[in-house]
Chain A
């Protein structure tokens, strides 16, 4: 009976696939029911996977009915639910080859669309468990298997697990910057194309990597997106405590979160660090003169990265602005010019000093978290620094998006390259949205069109549907509702889902 159900499922899926193909050949739109079952699903591996597991499942059922729970029954259960074995045995024990072949032969549900990539992903995780067999030659071999194009030119076999595996390989060969970008993309992929295990792993890696470098403001930012896990809540709490923020959880709260989060053995050290850290008193400008502004600048620069808050920066900007407007700077410069017997233009040197102060503020802005203070109340100097920061980022984004292929560009078959470029675009955009949330609408007006056209090109010419879907989903997030192109984007997103 259960076997029949399984067979029925397989038959229906095959029918849907056949209907889809017929419609495409005839030039008609495929029927909706067929589309929803088959679209962006790599059919062949799915059929095989379901088939293989279905066989084991039926066997297990038969054995249980006849003999009860004996050794054969257990083996069949393993064959029917391979993900369980992987998660609880093979990866924690660190048996790489077994993990690889398990995934490839038994097709666990998590990596059903991308068996090869998934197999490499699991093998890497198993290898890293004990840090064995990570020679460059072995990594090279694994790399070759990860990102592949189907012979028909679709990218359906490259999903979250393949990208996560590629990112892990990058991190192992030392290119952490690109690994971070790829993991960020994996973390926020659509659930249909990305197994939860890959997304959770990506999030966990990003958080741990930021904490390893001591960049706790990054930890807080990264914990705002991706799948909901206890780990991310715990790490955010620990980071808030380390940075001495007001919304940090109390000692008992943090302890409770630690108990609930995975990897307790090693994260105990983080808990200890977080609990030991004393709260920090905020800096305040006592007077608005040159010496105080200088001292305050020095104090803020001496703080470790991430500790300064936006309001302190605004306070510093206010002090400097008062100094510039009161003419104290010009008086100082005039006195020194006479003492040094120079002949320079005071206005010019003063303007240069102002620019350098603004540059210092711009350099400090990315390490601070936005605190919701409305822009209207910020001093002009600070706004100029924010403008500079935003201008630099948007300039880089525009430059990058100008080179994205679109329209009639010939297809290149270099899928990995496209993913990497897209990951870079996403990282830059995320940096702007995180640092300056009120100005996020500028992203769409800067790169919206070029990205939209790039997504269309990816879908039409390059047949990279999963990547195209990611593009459209991102655009859907940043485009304002009333925009004329919003409908187009939504249609495209649905089409490629």
Chain B
């Protein structure tokens, strides 16, 4: 999903600005890894323009290694959008929960 790619932007995962220095990025990453090791709740999710996403240790490590490479970092900066400026994500379209009942189907249907 294309939303996924934008929401997993390393800057969003690490919660640093696009203009952060190398040392600030490493510092933020190290802090998050420590908090995740301790099980701090606030470290387990982060805000994106598409709502809250979860993060775990491997996501933080991946984000750190992506931002270490200048080429990848430049690309991530191009895709980075400031989540706070956009407000809450749009509500999805309401799904019609009674749909199958209207054709006389009261059985399970998933997927």
Contacts and interface: CB of A to CB of B under 8 A. Distances in A.
A358 to B, nearest CB: 11
A212 B109 contact: yes
Given A131-B106, A353-B78, A208 B93 contact: no
Interface residues of A, number: 63
B100 A129 contact: no
Nearest to A332: B78
A332 B73 CA distance: 13
Interface string B75-106: 10111010000100111111111111111111
Contact of B111 (A134, A174, A205, A342): A174
Given A212-B99, A360-B2, A128 B105 contact: yes
A131 to B, nearest CB: 3
A333 B90 contact: no
A279 B73 CA distance: 40
B111 A298 contact: no
Contact of B81 (A174, A294, A356): A294
A315 B103 CA distance: 40
Q: Tell me if A's interface is mostly helix, strand, loop or mixed.
A: helix
Contact of B91 (A212, A262, A304, A337): A304
Interface in A193-226: 201, 204-205, 208-209, 211-214, 216
B86 to A, nearest CB: 6
A129 B111 contact: no
Contacts of B92: 214, 304-305
A364 B2 contact: yes
B70 A212 contact: no
Given A305-B93, A360-B2, A204 B106 contact: no
A303 B90 contact: yes
B42 interface: no
A342 B98 contact: no
Interface stretch (A157-165, A263-271, A407-415): A263-271
A64 to B, nearest CB: 34
B32 to A, nearest CB: 22
Contacts of B105: 128, 205, 208
Interface residues of B, number: 40
B95 A213 contact: yes
Interface in A139-181: 171-172, 174-177
Contacts, number: 141
A204 B1 CA distance: 29
Contacts of B46: none
Given A302-B50, A356-B79, A212 B104 contact: no
Contacts of A424: none
A404 to B, nearest CB: 26
A267 B109 contact: no
B43 to A, nearest CB: 25
A228 B50 CA distance: 40
A456 interface: no
B108 interface: yes
A400 interface: no
Nearest to A333: B74
A249 B39 CA distance: 53
A208 B108 contact: no
Given A129-B106, A134-B107, A302-B49, A340 B99 contact: no
Given A211-B99, A263-B102, A301-B50, A340 B74 contact: yes
B98 A267 contact: yes
Given A174-B111, A267-B98, A342-B74, A301 B3 contact: yes
A92 to B, nearest CB: 7
A204 B103 contact: yes
A380 interface: no
Nearest to A346: B74
Contacts of B86: 298, 302
Interface in B21-52: 49-50
The 10 closest A-B pairs by CB, nearest first: A342-B70, A131-B106, A214-B95, A266-B102, A263-B102, A176-B111, A344-B71, A208-B99, A212-B99, A363-B2
Interface of A: 91-92, 125, 127-131, 134, 171-172, 174-177, 201, 204-205, 208-209, 211-214, 216, 242-243, 262-263, 265-267, 269-270, 273, 294-295, 298, 301-307, 329, 332-333, 336-337, 340-344, 349, 352-353, 356, 359-360, 363-364
Given A177-B111, A295-B81, A305-B93, 7 more contacts: A130-B106, A216-B93, A262-B102, A336-B74, A344-B71, A344-B74, A352-B75
9 contacts: A128-B107, A209-B99, A267-B102, A336-B73, A336-B74, A336-B77, A340-B70, A344-B71, A360-B5
